[in-house]
Structure 1
Amino acid sequence: MNTMWKLFTGDIKRLTSNVVSIIIVIGLVMIPGLFTWFNVAACWDPFSNMKNLKFAVANVDEGYRSDLIPMKVTVGDQVVNALRANSQLDWTITSKADAVEGARSGKYYAAIVIPKSFSKDMMTFFSDDVQHAELTYYRNEKKNALAPNLLNEGTDEVAAEINTTFAKTITSAGLEIASSLADQLSKPEAKEQLNTFNANIADFATRLDDTADLLGTYSALTDTAGALLDTSNSLITQVSSAAKQGGKDLASAKQGVTDVVGALGTTADAMSSALDASASSFGAVSDSIDKLYSDANDGATTAADELDRQATAIGKQTEKYTEIRNTLAGILGNDSSIITAIDRSIARQNRLRQALNTAATDIRQGNQDAQDQHAQVKDLSDQAQNSIANIKSDFTATVKPQIDSLSSTVSDASGILSSGATQLDSTLGDLKRTSDDASDMLSDARTTLDKVSGKLRSAGAELASFNSTLSDALNSGDMSMVKEVLGNDPETLASTLAAPVQLRRKAVFPVANFGSSMAPFYTLLPLWVGALLMVVTLKTTVSRRTRKALGDPRPHRLFLGHYGVFALIALLQSTVSLGGDLLFLRVQAVHPLLFMLSGWLASLVFSFFTYTMVVSFGNVGKAIGVLMLIVQISGANAAYPVQMLPDFIAKVSPFLPLTHAVTMMRAAIAGIYDMDYWRAAGMLLAFVPPLLLLGLLLRKPLVRFNQWYVAKVESTKVLG
């Protein structure tokens, strides 16, 4: 230890032994500080001077006028007016030709041209074919490296100003229209018109409900017609056993089921078919009378039973006709001709049913009395058939024209009955098939009618609700409330709506200025340069005469003792440089003492690194120091975040001393979080043990390499 101290004090005496060496030492101490102060001062607050950058704006917007907004909208003019009041950049309002040429010549750093169709394109916001309004941005990327990127902020400012102005203009126009409308609604004549309109809405809602009720009635009529078809089919089956398969006479009715008109048409056609089938069934009864009375001679009981069954079937038809009569009476009234015809038919059917029952009884009691009533029964059957034909005629003339002007006519479903038994069976079979198809059609028609009726009722309910709301608004005077909400100053409200969100910035670990943010980079990097200057200017070896004067101490003592002068100069460098930051430049430092400590520690590690490399590798060590300087300029996370840089730089960054020194100084400037300052200090000191290992142990095997290297260099007579 005594030897190392003597070597250190001797080096100090030798450095201060003459004026030249003192000047050299002063230069070594001051150069890092000058480097730091000049660069920190230069970047202290460059963004506040962006107003000196010329930014050209050329507006050739022709504006837009439409019926939607009762005013001419020229967004370009409004943007230019807003930029004139903006001092962030040196906005120069000029012509398009001058703006473009100025950007090319370097007169302007950048230029923006607002095109002729700008307002028109922006107003397509309200149409189906939206066109994005575009600005043309010219920037001179040759004039300066950073200016084009900095001026992107100016471009964003223009775009933001345009968006805000557009929103403000449209909102202001809309609010002025709404305010005018509120004023108009406050007038008595406007309220009277609204009351009339509200009354019409109520009347229309009532009519919708009535229409829904009418469709419901027709839906019920389809049920009755279906039941009549069922009883007619039953009667036909009893008359002839040949009626086993369904026909196709009413297949055309299927076309109208899918809509309201088709459904009502299906109802009318099916009703007509039902009447035809009913008439045919009575015709079949008439035709079968002769056969039944003839068969009564052979088997009275069988004939009487058949007459009873026919009487029962006719009774069921009579009930269905009664239901049809009541339904149509609700629509047409009791005075309608078709109601009178149905009443006559029901009376004749009742007489026929009674006659059939009487005939059956007489046949059981004695065939001669029954034969006397043969003509009467047949005549009643014919009368019933004719009365149903009259009902069909009245139905076609009276009811059918009222069902939404049907586009098709009723098909004649009645067949011609032949006198022969085979022809009778075939005709009755066709009638049964027709009745089956008509039953299916009626079911579809009822479904459609019920669905449409439900929709009409729903629409009526919504209109009634709207009618009630509008009545309440008119009675309570809501128009004045609307006017109060809109206010008397649409412009102020439009400005608020155009920019409803205000950004509140709250810095975490705030830094007062850009110069303080860049201080770690521009302070620590010169300290590395100062360490390189020391190993270039000062000798890293101890002269033979000094070694003899000290008694030829061991190499490790020479290594550590001679480093003392390097450490002293390094501490002087960091003290001067960081002291100037705090005292003269007023760099922000939440922890000033830790700020100084970070510089002292960094300068010692940097100088020990370069000293060890040069002692171990000679001139190659100097090259290693320069190489580390190059890598650390970008890779130390001092200027650009390593996440923005190529991947290999991010991987190298943790192994660079400057990375951890920067972290220490940033914590001292803005504040410590979770012991980050001390962890970075530990990582920085972690470089010392490997350097000691190299300088004290691994350096010995490299002595011969260094001797060979020096000999080769000196042999050139050029390099030294």
Structure 2
Amino acid sequence: MRNIWRIFVADMKRLFSNTVCIIITLGLVLIPSIFSWYNVIACWNAFDNTGNLMVAVANCDEGYKSDIVPIDMNIGDKVVSALRANDQIHWVFTSEEDAVEGAKSGHYYAAVVIPESFSRDMLTFYSDNMKHAQIIYYSNEKKSAVAPKITDQGADTVSYQVNEVFAETMAEVALGVAQSISQYADENDVQGDLGRISQRVREVGSGLTRTKEVLALYSGLVDSAQGIVAGSVDLLTHAQGAVAEAKGPIDKSVSSASNMVDVLKGAAGNLSGAMESTANDMDAVAAAADAAFDAAVNDVDAGGDDLKTLAGHVGDASARYRDLATQLGGFRDQLPEEQRPALDAAVAAMNNAADQMAAAGEGLSSAGDQLKTDATNVNASRDQVKGQIADAKSSLAQAKDDYEQNMKPQLQTLADQTAAAVERLQTEDGRLAAAVDELSASADSAKSTMADAAESIEAACAKLETTAGELAQLADQVDSALASGDMEQLQKILGGDAKTLAQALAAPVSIDRQALYPVENFGSAMAPFYTTLGLFIGSLLLLVTVKPALSRSQEEGLTNPKPRQLFLGRFCTVAMLSLAQTTVMGLGNIFFLDVQHVHPLLLMLVFWGAGLVFTAIIYSLVATFANLGKAIAVLLLIVQVTGCGGSFPLQILPGFVQVLSPWLPATHVVNAMRAAMMGTTGMDFWYSMGMLALFLIPAAILGLVLRRPLSKFMHWYVEKVESSGLVA
């Protein structure tokens, strides 16, 4: 650690040792920020300047005057008037020849030509051989990569303006239609045209009726879905009650099972200890019996009393041992069927040992009585008692062995299985309650959504039905007026409902746009991309300028330096420079550029983390592969320009780029930076930062583990490269 600190301190002094070093250091810190800021400022409000794109408009429309409507109408002129008021694009109104040639030469980015028959096609929509009105659009896609996409939007604007002007023109012409009916009331072809108009209106009304019927089917489907969801809510409500009722018995079962585990483990240990203690007691009994017989040589009564007392102790031990056998037998019903024979054998062995102990106790008591009445057969009594004690001890040893080998492992297994069952019961109890709560919340939300959808569909059905009825009524009134020949009534009908007819045919629809995580400007939208590139370029510049390896003179001032100390010591230097780069860039983005920053602290954390990870990756590559590592870092930069998803959505890029993207560190930097700038969703910020941090692992393995094994290859590589006399 001391060597690492010495290297870092010495490097910091060298960075500011003279004026040239200070200038280089400042350049390393500022150049990445200049790169990033320049590109972000350049595209800050790029789409606010679309008014500089010149699009030519050539109006060749000759206009149209029908027999029904004796009014000269030129829809093309009205479109031109509307476009003059539109400043989103620089519209240049010129001739058709100039518009097309200008688009070819690149003088105009695009050209819009309104053909001669435009008004005729627009105003003969009711005829049998009707044609859709068309506008010819020329786009010079060689001029720019992005401009054609913008001018395409301009073409959409023209289309919208045409539709809007057409609807307005239909309303303006309504009075002229009424006047023409009065003037040409006696002409048969007028009535024929009006009949075709009536039929067209009736067809539109029928189409609206069919649309209403389809929506009604959807409404029925939603109603059925509501019933299913409502049933699910009731079912889940009952399930919640059942879970609540079952929780009490489950808790009691868990408590009882936990107590059973403690009893099993305690019983297994107690039985083993009791058997061991009883076996040791029999050795003490044998020794005490020998001492009592020896005392009887001098005092028969005292020896007899000692044997009688000893007999009482042995009898008590026999009773306790029999109680242990009874306690062990109490587990019989709790064991599986296949384990019960082993338990029965162990209990029988323990009862046999208890019988042998009882026999030894009776032998001791009889020997004590015999000594008091007849002391001539002391040795025979001694031998008989010692034999009985030996038999009891042998039975105890056999019972203990049977228990230790057969029953104790099974009792321990039973205790472990019971403990596992208790744990599973507790886990499943919690999962069951959580699952029921989650499903209940989801069902309630679905029920509310279904209700809103059903209400919206019903309202749309009602509106469509009303409109279809009005159109059918209008057609019936026109037919009735034509049949009766009442021209005043026909004028009143068409004059009063011309607007309804125009609205039904134009069908204007407005869009309510609501941005999620709105971006204030295009510069902020592109800032994550250009900033990430700037961070990587800055880290690459550091390793182009700063040598990863120490010179021999620098190593001489260290105490027995290890390779990892040399590696980490110089890395601390480049890491400090990286922190300086990212701090300047981050603060500049926030306070100088004023990019969007919903979470400024998280944004700074992204800058620092990204800079350190990029620096660690490039530092390990250059420290291990020298100039070859720099080439690999440049290749990684090239791949990340497109693969990070900073400019184009990954979904529209080739499949291999989509596969490669998650394995690039810049991808996760861009995602984390967007979350910090525009707003987080759940844990998306921390997930991206965690994925970014994982790239430190291969960098550390390469720099600290693989660098030494690869050193021979690098010596060979450097030798071959330098032998060329051209490449360093």
TM-score of the alignment, normalized to the shorter chain, above 0.5: yes
Secondary structure, counterpart of 1:61 in structure 2? coil
Bigger CA radius of gyration: 1
Note the C-alpha offset of 1:493: 10
Q: Percent of aligned pairs with the same residue?
A: 51
Task: Kindly provide the amino acid, as one letter, of the partner of residue 572 in structure 2.
Answer: G
Please report how far the alpha carbon of residue 499 of structure 1 lies from its aligned counterpart in structure 2 after TM superposition.
6.2
> 1:601 and 2:609 equivalent?
yes
> Is the Cα–Cα contact under 8 Å of residues 179 and 486 in structure 1 kept in the other structure?
no
Determine the C-alpha separation between the residues in 1 that align with 2:180 and 2:68. 15
CA distance in 1, matches of 2:180, 2:70: 12
DSSP 3-state at the match of 1:638 = coil
Specify whether residues 610 and 61 from structure 1 end up closer, same or farther in structure 2 by C-alpha distance, changes over 3 A only.
Answer: same
| TM-score, normalised relative to structure 2 | 0.56
Match of residue 514 from structure 1: 522
Asked whether the equivalents of residues 578 and 596 of structure 1 are also in contact (C-alpha less than 8 Å), the reply is yes
**Equivalent residue, structure 2, for 1:102:** 102
Distance in 2, matches of 1:78 and 1:102, equals: 24
Q: Contact 2:175–2:495 at 8 Å: present in 1 too?
A: no
Instruction: Find the counterpart in structure 1 of residue 232 from structure 2.
Output: none
Q: CA deviation at 1:130?
A: 3.1
Match of 2:245 in 1: none
Question: Aligned-pair distance for 1:699?
Answer: 1.5
State the 1:168 CA deviation: 2.9
> What's the counterpart of residue 676 of structure 2?
668
Q: Is residue 675–residue 684 contact of structure 2 (8 Å, CA) maintained in 1?
A: yes
Distance in 2 (CA, whole Å) between partners of 1:44 and 1:536 is 31
Q: Deviations over 1:65-114 (max 9, x none)?
A: 22344433321111101001111111111111221222223221111111
What amino acid does structure 1 have at the position aligned with 2:88?
Q
User: What secondary structure, in the 3-state scheme, does the structure 2 residue paired with 1:503 have?
Assistant: coil
2:586 to 578, 584, 592: 578
Residue number in structure 2 paired with 1:680: 688
Decide whether the 8 Å contact of 2:68 with 2:181 is kept in 1: no
Uncovered stretches (5+) of structure 2, i.e. residues with no partner: 183-472, 482-486
In structure 2, distance between residues paired with 1:654 and 1:112: 43
> For 1:614, which of 622, 633, 652 is the aligned residue?
622
**Does residue 709 in structure 1 map to residue 717 in structure 2?**
yes
How far, CA to CA, are the matches of 2:566 and 2:179 in structure 1? Answer: 92
Counterpart position of 2:665: 657
SS at match of 1:126: coil
Note closer, same or farther for the CA distance 1:480–1:123 as it changes in structure 2 (3 Å cut).
closer
d(CA) in 2 for partners of 1:80, 1:492: 26
Count of aligned pairs: 433
- Residue 691 of structure 1 aligns with an amino acid whose one-letter code is A
Offset of 1:647 from its aligned partner?
Answer: 0.6
CA distance in 2, matches of 1:585, 1:480: 70
Counterpart in the other structure of 2:649: 641
TM-score scaled by structure 1?
A: 0.56
Check the 8 A contact 2:69/2:180 in 1, yes or no.
Answer: no
| Secondary structure in structure 1 of the residue aligned to 2:550 | coil
Listed as ranges, the matches of 1:426-465 within 5 Å are none
SS of 1:542's partner is coil
Distance 1:112 1:469 in 2: 42
Matched, 1:56 2:51: no
Q: Determine whether 1:533 maps to 2:541.
A: yes
Task: Identify the residue that residue 30 of structure 1 maps to in structure 2.
Answer: 30
**CA shift for structure 1 position 494:** 5.8
In the alignment, does 2:532 pair up with 1:524?
A: yes
Structure 2 residue matching 1:72: 3-state secondary structure: coil
| Structure 1: runs of 5+ lacking an equivalent | 183-464, 474-478
| Aligned: 1:167 with 2:167 | yes
Does the aligned pair in 2 maintain the 1:635–1:649 contact within 8 Å? yes
In the alignment, what sits opposite 2:509? 501
Residue 484 to residue 123, structure 1, CA distance change in 2 (3 Å): closer
Is residue 170–residue 499 contact of structure 2 (8 Å, CA) maintained in 1?
no
Q: Specify the code of the residue in structure 2 equivalent to 1:700.
A: R
- Deviation per CA, 1:684-720: give whole Å up to 9, x if none: 0010111111111112210001111111111112111
Q: Is 1:168–1:497's contact at 8 Å kept on the other side of the alignment?
A: no
SS in 1 for 2:125: helix
Sort the Cα spacing of 1:113 and 1:609 in 2 relative to 1 into closer, same or farther, 3 A: same
Structure 2 partner of 1:377:
none
SS state at 1:529 partner: helix
Counterpart CA distance in 1 for 2:660 and 2:548 is 29
Deviations 1:105-136 (A, max 9, x none): 32211111111112222334222323232222
Q: Which residue of 1 aligns with 2:464?
A: none
Deviation at 1:178, TM superposition (A): 6.8
Distance 2:134 2:77 in 1: 16
- Determine the structure 1 residue equivalent to 2:4: 4
Mark the CA change 1:469 to 1:535 in structure 2 (over 3 Å): closer, same or farther.
closer
Secondary structure of the 1:166 match is helix
Q: Deviating runs (4+, > 6 A) in structure 1?
A: 178-182, 479-493
**Residues 1:9 and 1:108: Cα distance change in structure 2 (over 3 Å):** same
Structure 1 residues 678 and 178, CA gap change in structure 2 (3 angstroms): farther
* CA shift for structure 1 position 630: 0.5
Give the corresponding residue for 1:128. 128
Moved more, 171-180 or 580-589: 171-180
Judged with a 3 Å threshold, the aligned counterparts in structure 2 of structure 1 residues 132 and 499 are, in CA distance, closer, same or farther, namely: closer
If each structure's helix is expressed as a fraction of its own residues, which one has the higher value? Answer: 2
Structure 2 CA distance for partners of 1:609 and 1:495, relative to 1, 3 Å:
same
Q: CA deviation at 1:143?
A: 2.6
